[in-house]
Amino acid sequence: MTNDTELKDVVMTKKRFQTMIEEVVLKHRCNYLDAIIYLCERFTIEPEDAKKYISPVIKGKLEADAKRLRYIQQDDSVLPI
């Protein structure tokens, strides 16, 4: 992952934040919510402000994690038979 000095000189974009999230998920073997919170703490970004950097791809993966962890309900009500 890029070091902190380099990141202070770079403008944050959705693509850059997505890459950083993916790296944290792979490196630390954590879920997407934990990776986002980790990056917010590391780079002093308010979690409410981070939503503008979260791409649709990450939103989908975040939603899948939330369903898997039962933070939100599943959309389908069909029994898996």
Q: Is residue 28 part of a domain?
A: yes
Q: Is residue 7 part of a domain?
A: no
Range of the domain at 29: 15-68
Q: What is the tally of structural domains in the chain?
A: 1
Tokens of 15: 């693509």
Cα 35 to chain centroid distance, Å, stands at 5
User: In angstroms, rounded to a whole number, what is the distance separating the alpha carbons of residues 16 and 48?
Assistant: 18
* 75 pLDDT higher than 80: no
Higher pLDDT, 32 or 77: 32
pTM recorded for the entire structure = 0.77
